[in-house]
Amino acid sequence: MTSTSPTQTPSAESRPSLADWLRRFWPAPLSIDRKERVRMLVGIVLAVGATAAMAHWWGMLHPPGLWMVASFAASSVLVIGLPSSPLAQPWAVFGGSVMSATVGVLVAHWVPHLVIATPVAVGLAVGLMMLMRCLHPPGAALALLAVLEPATHTGRYLGFVLFDVILLLVIGIIYNRLTGRVYPPAKLAEAAAKTTALGKPSPFTEADLDAALKSHNRVIDISRSDLESLLQHAAKAAFQRTLGDLRCDAIMSSPVHAIKESASLSEGWELMQSHAVKALPVIDENQTVIGIVTTTDLLHQQFAQESSEGLGQKLRSLIPWRGAKKPQTIGSLMSSPVQVARMDQHVMDLVPMFSAKGRRHVPIVNDENRLVGIISQTDVIKTLANALAP
C-alpha cells in the first residue's frame, strides 16, 4: 500500500467549481469614463462614414465591384478606440490589410476548392502578418472575403482595399490628434525621458520591457509606452495604499522654528544651532511663508571668498558676520519663492517636491496659508521605510 505525497493531491481540489467557471464568461467592466466612450463612438461613426462616402464616390467612378468591405468597421474600432494598441498602428492596419487581401486573391486563383482555400488563405495571411510585424485581425477577414466573393478575384479589389485603408488611417490620425490621443504613439525610448507618476526617471527601459514581454510569450493588446505608464501608476497606487491616508500633518515637525526676513544672519545661525535644525522658514507678520534659509546657505555665504583660514576659525567667524560685502539680513540670503504643502496633503505628494531642484525641506501651511510645520526629506524617507517594512 502506497501513500500519497502532498504533491500528488487529486487535481479535483484545484479545479474551479462550475459556478466559478461560468463566472469567467461574465464580461469585465470597461475602465473608461463617459467622455472617452463618447469620443470613441463619435470617432468610429465619423471614420466609417467618411471612409464610406469617399469609397462610394470612388466606386461609382469604377463600376462594377466592391467599394467597401465590412472588415473596415472593425479596423475603425481599433484605430479610434484603441489607438495605442499594436494591432491598430498604421503599419499594422496598412500592411495587414493590403497583404492579407493580396494573399486572399492569390489563393483564390491557385486553390479552386473553397473548403481548402479558406483556411489556407487565412493561415497564410496571419503568418505573413506576423512575419512582417503587422498583425491586424480584420486583415484575416479580407483574406477570407477574397476567397469567398468572386467579385474580389481581380486587382480592382486590391485597389479598393488600398484606397479605403489609406482613407481610414488619415481620418484616424486627424481625429485622434484632435481629441488628445497621440496616434501613432511615441516609442518607449522617446517617452523614457519623461518623469513617472512618482516624479523621477522611469526605472524601466525598452530592453527591460522587451525581456518581460518575451518571457510572457503572448501577444498583448497594449503598446510598450502605455504598459510603462500603467506600471508606474500601479506602483504609485500600491504605494498610496500601503501608506493609507497618511497626511503631512501626521509627520511634520511642529511647532516649527521660523525667522523674520529682517533678522540678521548671526541670529539665524544661532537659532539653528540652539534648536539643532538645518532649515528655517522665513515668514512675514501674518505667519505666511515667504522663503527659506538653510545652514548650507549660511555656510556658502561665509565661505564664498577663498581663504587660507582653517575650518574652525571660519566656523567661529560665523557669529560676528563681519565684512561689508556680506549680506546682513536673512531676507537678502533666503531662497524665495519657496514651494509649500498643505497640512492635509498626502505624504506621497511631497516626493516630486523633494526630487526637484534638490529640495531638502518643505514648509507646511494650513488653510489660511500660515506656517504650521515643516517636513524634511529624512522624515519622508523614514515614513516610506516604515510603510514598506514587513
CATH of 249-388, one of 3.40.50.11540, 3.10.580.10, 3.40.50.300, 3.10.20.30: 3.10.580.10
Residue position matching grid coordinates 464568461:
25
Q: Answer yes or no: is pLDDT of 55 > 50.
A: yes
How far from 18 is each of 10, 12, 49, 164, CA to CA, in Å? 17, 12, 44, 46
What is the rounded radius of gyration, in angstroms, for the C-alpha atoms of the chain? 33
* pLDDT, position 281: 92
Run of H or E residues at 197: none
Q: What is the pTM of this model?
A: 0.55
For residue range 157-216, list pLDDT tens digits in order.
888 899 899 999 999 999 999 999 889 886 644 544 444 444 445 555 667 777 776 776
Mean pLDDT value of segment 120-141 = 96
Question: How deeply is 311 buried, as exposed, middle or buried, from its count of CB atoms within 10 A (0-12, 13-18, 19+)?
Answer: exposed
* pLDDT, position 100: 96
Domain segments of the chain as ranges: 34-178, 188-243, 249-388
Q: How confident is the model at residue 62 (pLDDT cuts 50, 70, 90)?
A: low
Is there a contact between 374 and 270 (Cβ–Cβ < 8 Å)? no
Geometric angle at alpha carbon 30, from 25 and 32, rounded to 5°: 175
Neighbours of 147 (CB within 10 A): 25
Q: Answer yes or no: is pLDDT of 87 > 60.
A: yes
How far from 322 is each of 298, 318, 319, 326, 332, CA to CA, in Å? 13, 8, 9, 8, 16
> DSSP letter string over 146-187?
HHH-GGGSSHHHHHHHHHHHHHHHHHHHHHHHHTT--SSPPP
283 three-class SS: strand
Residue position matching grid coordinates 470617432:
43
